[in-house]
Structure 1
Amino acid sequence: MRASKIAGIGHYVPDNVVTNKDLEKLIETTDEWIQERTGIKERRFVDPKSDEAPSTMGTKAARIAIKNAGITPDDLDFIIFATLSPDYYFPGPGVMVQEQLGIKEIGALDVRNQCSGFVYAVSIADQFIKTGMYNNILVIGSELHSSGLDMTTRGRGVSVIFGDGAGAVVMQAADKPGQGILSTHLHSEGKHAKELALIGPSTKHWVDKLIVENDPEDISYYPYMNGNFVFKHAVTRFEEVINEALDKNGFKSTDINLLIPHQANLRISQFIQKKMGLSDDQVFNNIMKYGNTTAASIPIAMSEAWQEGKIKEGDLVCLAAFGSGFTWASALIRW
């Protein structure tokens, strides 16, 4: 059975930079408060007057990944799009990327695993390539959070964290023994679903019903996060799923050349780094610049790390994510 590899990578973020100082004008908060709790200094927000959407950002990242893979859009066999913020309730954005790329009518799959979505999508692509069903798979993580955040003091615990952006990879069959995706590991724990969730709008809670029935101080069509609860579970699950990947392949944490965690909170990354005995050079963080872009955060970070020469052929790279669901996942890659 053949292995799969990441053959090309790219990312796109909006030009509009929103600093913590900018948020101070909208929310009762401070730059110091945000940095102390999250490590975030700024993030990117889509211009609300533009036509930018998760699909268009994903397509822009995809074109870069396709070029870096040395192929054309017409060489693609399949599209997997991970997001929690699709353009429409339905259809999903995968089909829109197919149209925006102007390519033949290949299949498109949407993955709704929030912060873990990109790693889940990589795992799916890995299986398709291993079985020989497809040869060139486009995997995208793209999010537009800014239009759905509660930009008031009431919502500051969530709204200061998130940003917009997209990352993409092209996956192909590996051409060298021992190269590519070594293993992926996927988990969920649905009993904690409401601890990090957007309850409505949904088939049970449409917007007009929510506005009428809910107390204005408790509007559930904005994201909700039980921050301390999520943090405690995240640090545990991150370490577990990283060690699961290492154990599966006979490695130790010191063998990792680069850990790329989902950019949920710099404090979580720092805790995991210390717990696993990793150096600063072994962990890549860019949450300071982009905030939490959920499904887009790992491919954006991986793209930047590759551009900066921090990922080289032969390196052992570990991806790990934890988020709403709860879901958590890891992938171990020999680059």
Structure 2
Amino acid sequence: MSYTSRITGMGYYVPENVVTNNDLSKMMDTSDEWIQERTGIVERRWVVPGDGNTTSTMGVKAAKMAIENAGITKDDIDFIVFATLSPDYYFPGPGVQVQRDLGIKEVGALDVRNQCSGFVYALSVADQYVKSGMYKNVLVIGSELHSGGLDKTTRGRGVTVIFGDGAGAAIVSRSNDEKRGILSTHLHSQGEHAEELALIGPATTHWVDKLIEENDPENTSYYPYMNGNFVFKHAVTRFEEVIMEALEANSLKPENIDLLVPHQANLRISQFIMKKMQLDPSRVYNNIMRYGNTTAASIPIAFTEAINEGKVKEGDLVCLAAFGSGFTWASALMRW
């Protein structure tokens, strides 16, 4: 028997602490105008040390909402896929922490490390597991805690002003409705550009004791690095390619898209794609101005908000697309 898979519930969580562009201007040489002009971001959420928020606990909060919205219980979950670049620990991954903290039976937990494309990659994994008949309800989470690892000085402003904290989650469930559900997913990578957007250390090649031993205040390898212009040029190309790939695989065209939910990397990228593909602004959902770039969490946060705001109706064609570190890029097309 063949099955289809569809998202039956979505949820998200963001920390209460709002950090505005003006707040950042007190930490580094920047301004609200400078940040908005380059990124479209007005504010983001950062955890406050000691507030109880971690990558896994934020994921748990988003998961609880998704489970409730799907009309199931935690006991109906039979697999977990957790996407993040900022796990609580170097190991184990946060998937098992979610299984523990939600009190889910001893199901499998898989961690996905595909950064900005992580949620779509994780969604693709869940889609295939459900369609194969192996699982009935897969919990997919994208969660990030960036704020604790950013260079909050003028030296790091090009990266730091972009990123925020938060989590989003989805329940991917088995369905027999061939008219609704995930139509296809498309995954790509180009590792030759891996170091153009990366965090090099600490790592097994540049471990903590080595950093301490060097005691070099100029060593920035433990902060994220991004070759901004280079990443932007590749992103706008790959975004369009992977969206078109999904449409062509299903004999559809850009005008058939009812809602595009892009990874919230930079509002300028989203606007470029919108213009290039001739999509009306009402058919592209952006919330980067409120949350910044939450990497693997950005698409599920945005998609949940779009659903809550009534921007997604039954039968709508929805496209999710992401590009990020790796380089990796991906898309998912679904009939809601």
Flag whether TM exceeds 0.5 (same fold).
Answer: yes
2:11 is matched with 10
2:140 is matched with 139
1:255 is matched with 256
Provide, for residues 125-163 of structure 1, a one-character-per-residue CA deviation record: whole Å limited to 9, x for no partner.
000001100001000000000000000000000000000
Q: What are the equivalent positions in structure 2 for 1:14-53 lying under 5 Å apart?
A: 14-53=15-54
CA deviation after TM superposition for structure 1 residue 173, in Å = 1.4
Provide, for residues 59-114 of structure 1, a one-character-per-residue CA deviation record: whole Å limited to 9, x for no partner.
00000000000000011000000000000000000000000101211110000000
1:130 is matched with 131
2:320 is matched with 319
1:241 is matched with 242
- Residue type at the aligned position of 1:303: T
1:78 is matched with 79
Q: Is the 8 A contact 2:4 2:177 kept in 1?
A: no
2:292 is matched with 291
CA deviation after TM superposition for structure 1 residue 214, in Å = 7.4
CA deviation after TM superposition for structure 1 residue 218, in Å = 3.7
- Residue type at the aligned position of 1:280: P
Separation in structure 1 between the aligned mates of residue 208 and residue 173 of structure 2, nearest angstrom: 42
TM-score by length of 2: 0.98
Q: CA RMSD in A?
A: 0.9
Greater alpha carbon shift after TM alignment, 45-54 vs 112-121 = 45-54
CA deviation after TM superposition for structure 1 residue 40, in Å = 0.1
Could you tell me which runs of 5 or more consecutive residues in structure 1 were left unpaired when the two chains were aligned.
none
1:276 is matched with 277
1:197 is matched with 198
Q: Identity of paired residues, percent?
A: 74
Q: Is the 8 A contact 1:210 1:219 kept in 2?
A: no
Separation in structure 1 between the aligned mates of residue 249 and residue 328 of structure 2, nearest angstrom: 20
1:115 is matched with 116
Could you tell me which runs of 5 or more consecutive residues in structure 2 were left unpaired when the two chains were aligned.
none
Provide, for residues 6-62 of structure 1, a one-character-per-residue CA deviation record: whole Å limited to 9, x for no partner.
000010000000000000110110000000000000000011122211100000000
Asked if 1:329 corresponds to 2:334, the answer is no
What number of residue pairs does the alignment pair up? 335
Provide, for residues 237-287 of structure 1, a one-character-per-residue CA deviation record: whole Å limited to 9, x for no partner.
000000000000011101000000000000000000000000011100000
2:188 is matched with 187
CA deviation after TM superposition for structure 1 residue 230, in Å = 0.2
Q: Is the 8 A contact 2:265 2:288 kept in 1?
A: yes
Separation in structure 2 between the aligned mates of residue 227 and residue 211 of structure 1, nearest angstrom: 29
Q: Are the structure 2 counterparts of residues 214 and 188 from structure 1 closer, same or farther at C-alpha, using a change threshold of 3 Å?
A: farther
CA deviation after TM superposition for structure 1 residue 176, in Å = 1.7
- Secondary structure of residue in 2 paired with 1:79: strand
Provide, for residues 196-249 of structure 1, a one-character-per-residue CA deviation record: whole Å limited to 9, x for no partner.
000011111112313444753342000000000000000000000000000000
Separation in structure 1 between the aligned mates of residue 177 and residue 313 of structure 2, nearest angstrom: 15
Asked if 1:165 corresponds to 2:166, the answer is yes
Displaced runs of 4+ in structure 1, greater than 2 A? 210-218
- Secondary structure of residue in 2 paired with 1:216: coil
Q: Is the 8 A contact 1:74 1:104 kept in 2?
A: yes
Q: Is the 8 A contact 1:286 1:301 kept in 2?
A: yes
TM-score by length of 1: 0.99
- Secondary structure of residue in 1 paired with 2:164: coil
- Residue type at the aligned position of 1:331: A
Separation in structure 1 between the aligned mates of residue 106 and residue 144 of structure 2, nearest angstrom: 24
CA deviation after TM superposition for structure 1 residue 2, in Å = 1.1
- Residue type at the aligned position of 2:116: C
2:222 is matched with 221
